[in-house]
Amino acid sequence: MSWLGLEGKVAVVTGAAGGIGNAIAKAFSDAGAEVMLLDLDQAAVQDAADSIRARAFACDVTHPESIAATVEAIGSVDILVNNAAFLAPGNLDLTDIESWQKMLDVNLTGYLRCAQAFGAGMLARGSGALVHVGSISGSHQQAFSNAYSASKAGVSMLSRQLAYEWGPRGVRSNVVSPGLVRTPLSESFYADPKTKAARESVVPLRRIGRVEDIADAVLYFASDRAGYVTGQEVIVDGGYAQTLMNHVPRPGYAHD
């Protein structure tokens, strides 16, 4: 058994065809877990599963029937990683309620739906781990992004409530919140060397996060090594979220 002790554990990862989800799935597979990849994009999730010898399922987290069918096909699981989400631009003075609700439905309500569906077996068995992928945007508003920040703030509170209600029944719930991470969806931000350098300059560790950085934190929370950790959030951002006061001009205190 490895230090994490994930060998033989059944882990479900939603949004597994994307950059972070794919990295999380691969990390679980490398750790010896049986990995179930869920995504709305059937072709993409099958390709991802084939690359790591996992099982793929086309699943829409906004439809309870789709989730229920997937739960029935998979059976009992030990770990659920809620990762499915999307981001779209939108000014609040112009955002229509339909698009606002759609984002909440995927990014927040979808997490609850999956927690209820896959968590039922965990609660019956008296053990299990939920890990939710949040964002530093949940505590530091990301303007002009529709309901994204509101949805990610909700994820943090949902996880804490699940931790309190399900803790006595043996199920843990924690959040991993990424900062600036280089993924296929954000790759365009780094095409310009000046933009890339500007982004790196505001991160204390002076680099942009890798998807593997997020996966490492998720695996820890999912493992028995975090057996006494629940209701918590770890921010994986190279220290960026702690730099607020350093962006305020302070003559005589500046450092190169």
Query: Can you state the percent helix, strand and coil of the chain, rounding each to 5?
Result: 50, 15, 35
Rounded to an integer, the average pLDDT of 3-21 is 96
Cα separation of 253 and 194, whole Å?
26
DSSP state of 252: T
Closest by Cα among 200, 196, 177 to 188: 196
Split at pLDDT 50, 70, 90, the class of 207 is very high
The values of phi and psi at residue 157, to 5°, are -70, -40
pLDDT score of 255 more than 80: no
Q: Worst-scoring range by mean pLDDT, 114-118, 176-180, 187-191? A: 187-191
Q: pLDDT tens digits, residue range 130-149?
A: 999 999 999 998 898 889 99
10-181+214-232 topology per CATH: Rossmann fold (3.40.50)
DSSP element (H, E) containing 228: none
For the CA atoms of 106, 184, 242, 105, the dihedral, rounded to the nearest 10 degrees, stands at: 0
Domain boundaries, the chain: 10-181+214-232
pTM, to two decimals: 0.95
Q: pLDDT tens digits, residue range 27-56?
A: 999 999 999 999 999 999 999 999 998 999
Percent of the chain with pLDDT strictly greater than 70: 98
Contact 72, 46 (CB under 8 A): no
Q: Which residues are catalytic?
A: 148
Q: pLDDT tens digits, residue range 89-120?
A: 899 999 999 999 999 999 999 999 999 999 99
Residue 91 amino acid letter: N
Three-class secondary structure of residue 169 per DSSP: helix
pLDDT at 256: 54
pLDDT score of 189 more than 90: no
Cα separation of 48 and 51, whole Å?
5
CB crowding 148-162: b at 16 or more within 10 Å, else e: bbbbbbbbbebbbeb
Contact 136, 181 (CB under 8 A): no
Closest by Cα among 162, 169, 196, 198 to 182: 196
* Cα of 255 vs its chain's centroid, Å: 35
Closest by Cα among 181, 170, 159 to 81: 159
For the CA atoms of 2, 6, 9, 13, the dihedral, rounded to the nearest 10 degrees, stands at: -140
Residue 154 CB-half CA count within 13 A: 16
Residue 60 amino acid letter: D
Kindly state the tokens that stand for 240. 């960026």
